[in-house]
A and B are shown apart, each in its own frame.
Chain A
Amino acid sequence: MAFRLLHLADLLLDVPFFGLGPLPRAMFERLRDAPVATLDRLVDAAVDHDVDAVLIAGGTSVGGSVGRSAGGGVTPRSAARLAAALERLAGAGIPTVIVLNGREGGLPTVAGYDLPDAVTVVEPGQIDAVVIEHHGEPAVTVIAASAPLTAEHGGRAARHVPDGDLVIMATIPPGGPPRLDPNVPAAFWALGGSPEPRAGRVGAGWGVVAAPPQPRVLPPPGPRPAAAVLESGPSGPRPPHPLDLADVSLARVAVDLAAASTPQQLEDLVAAGLEAVVDGSRPVMCELVAVGVGPLRSGLSDPATRQRLLARLRAQAAAERTPVWWIDVVTAPLPPVYRTQLAAHWPPAAVIEARATALVAAGPDPALVDARASAGVAGLEGLPAPGAWPALVGDATSVALDALTGARP
Chain B
Amino acid sequence: MTLESDRRGSANGATADHRPSAPDPRPRPEDGDGPAPADRTEPVDVATATATVRHCLQRGQLVVVQGPEGPLRELARALVEAAGTADLADDAPRHRPATVHDLTVVPTATELTSGPVDSSSDQGQVGGVPDGLVAGAVAELDRQLARVASEDVAGVRARLAEFERELAGTAPPANADELAWAVEDAQDELEQAEDELRALDRQLDRLDRLAGSTAAPTVDDPRGGTEARADTGVMANPVAAVVLDGDELEEALHAANVELDAAADETAELRRALAPFDGLPGRSELLEAHDALGRLRDTLEDLDEGRAELEEAEAALAQAVAAESAAALVPHRVPTSGTPGLLPARVSPPATIVAGLLIVVAVGLLVAGRTAAGALVALVALAAAGVSLLATARPAVPEPQVVRPLPDPDAGTHPSAVAEARARVGRARSALARHHEERSRLAFDLRLSADPAPEDIDRRQADVASFLEARRAADTLVAELAEVRSRFVDADERRSRLTASLMDAAPVATVDPADPADPADPAETAEPTGGELADPVDDGTDGPVDDMTALWRRHHDELAARREAQVQRRDERAARRDQARAELAAALEDATPTHLVQARQAALDVLVRHRRELDRLALARHLLVGPRRPGPAFEWASDLVAASGTGAKGLALGPGGPAVVGGHGATVTLAAMAADQAHLVRTALHLGLARASRQHPPTVLVGLDVAELAPGPVALVVGAVAELSANQPVAVLSWSAATVAAVTTGGVQAQLVTVSAG
Contacts and interface: CB of A to CB of B under 8 A. Distances in A.
Contacts of B24: 409
A111 B581 contact: yes
A268 B112 CA distance: 28
Contacts of A65: none
B127 to A, nearest CB: 4
Between A258, A294, A298, A368, the greatest number of chain B beta carbons within 10 A of the residue's beta carbon is seen for A298
Interface string B625-664: 1111000000000000000000000000000000000000
A64 interface: no
Contact of B619 (A338, A345, A396): A396
A293 interface: yes
Nearest to A362: B627
Interface stretch (A191-199, A240-248, A371-379): A371-379
A405 B592 contact: no
Nearest to B142: A375
A332 interface: no
Interface in B64-81: 64, 66
Interface stretch (A19-27, A127-135, A160-168, A231-239): A19-27
B605 A20 contact: yes
Interface in A335-383: 337-338, 341-342, 345-348, 350-352, 355-356, 358-359, 367-368, 370-377, 380
A20 to B, nearest CB: 7
Nearest to B588: A76
Interface in B60-96: 60-64, 66, 83-85, 87-88, 91
Contacts of B147: 303-304
A399 B104 contact: no
A395 B97 CA distance: 27
Contacts of B64: 408
Interface in B18-46: 22-25, 28
A351 B109 contact: no
B83 A347 contact: no
B627 A370 contact: yes
A112 interface: yes
B598 interface: yes
B177 interface: no
B626 A355 contact: yes
B606 A22 contact: yes
A126 interface: no
Interface string B260-304: 000000000000000000000000000000000000000000000
A403 B618 contact: no
Interface string A102-137: 000000001110000000000000000000000000
A150 interface: no
B585 A76 contact: yes
Nearest to B115: A345
Interface in B592-625: 592-603, 605-606, 608-609, 611-625
A353 B138 CA distance: 16
B190 A407 contact: no
A350 B618 CA distance: 19
Interface in A282-312: 293-299, 302-305, 308, 312
A376 to B, nearest CB: 6
A296 B105 contact: yes
Interface residues of B, number: 107
A367 B103 CA distance: 31
A95 interface: no
A347 B119 contact: yes
B129 A404 contact: yes
Nearest to B148: A303
Nearest to B669: A374
A71 interface: yes
A72 to B, nearest CB: 8
B128 A348 contact: yes
B592 A71 contact: yes
B621 A375 contact: yes
A355 B623 contact: yes
Contacts of A305: 88, 91, 102
A76 B628 contact: no
Contacts of B627: 355, 358, 367, 370
B542 interface: no
A328 B129 CA distance: 33
Contacts of A264: 84, 87
**Interface residues of A, dominant DSSP:** helix
B620 A384 contact: no
Contacts of A200: none
B413 interface: no
B614 A111 contact: no
B84 to A, nearest CB: 4
Interface residues of A, number: 85
B602 A299 contact: no
B598 A16 contact: yes
**Interface residues of B, dominant DSSP:** helix
A346 B149 contact: no
A21 B106 contact: no
B665 interface: yes
B601 A70 contact: yes
A393 B140 CA distance: 18
A258 B609 contact: no
A219 B103 CA distance: 31
B60 A298 contact: no
Contact of A346 (B97, B112, B132): B112
Between B24, B187, B613, B623, the greatest number of chain A beta carbons within 10 A of the residue's beta carbon is seen for B623
A405 B616 CA distance: 17
Given A258-B60, A396-B623, A345 B112 contact: yes
A138 interface: no
Contacts of B449: none
A356 B623 contact: yes
Nearest to B666: A376
Contacts of A146: none
B141 A76 contact: no
Contact of A261 (B57, B102, B126, B620): B57
A322 interface: no
A262 to B, nearest CB: 4
A290 to B, nearest CB: 12
Nearest to A18: B601
Contacts of B615: 368, 371-372, 377, 380, 384, 392, 396
A73 interface: yes
Contacts of A31: 598
Between B59, B594, B595, the greatest number of chain A beta carbons within 10 A of the residue's beta carbon is seen for B594
A275 to B, nearest CB: 22
A380 B619 contact: no
A80 interface: yes
Given A71-B167, A261-B83, 19 more contacts: A21-B605, A31-B598, A71-B594, A71-B601, A73-B592, A80-B585, A261-B58, A295-B60, A298-B102, A305-B91, A305-B102, A308-B91, A312-B87, A348-B133, A372-B618, A376-B149, A400-B137, A403-B138, A404-B134
| Top 7 closest pairs, chain A to chain B, by CB | A347-B128, A71-B597, A407-B136, A396-B619, A371-B622, A262-B84, A405-B106
Interface of B: 22-25, 28, 57-64, 66, 83-85, 87-88, 91, 97, 100-106, 108-109, 112-113, 115, 117, 119, 122, 125-130, 132-142, 144-145, 147-149, 167, 171, 187, 190-191, 194, 577, 581, 584-585, 588-589, 592-603, 605-606, 608-609, 611-628, 665, 667, 669
20 contacts: A18-B601, A22-B602, A22-B606, A28-B599, A71-B592, A261-B57, A262-B85, A293-B105, A299-B88, A345-B112, A351-B127, A351-B128, A371-B619, A374-B621, A375-B614, A392-B619, A397-B623, A405-B104, A408-B97, A408-B136
Interface of A: 16-23, 28, 31-32, 70-73, 75-77, 80, 110-112, 258, 261-265, 293-299, 302-305, 308, 312, 328, 337-338, 341-342, 345-348, 350-352, 355-356, 358-359, 367-368, 370-377, 380, 384, 392-393, 395-397, 399-409
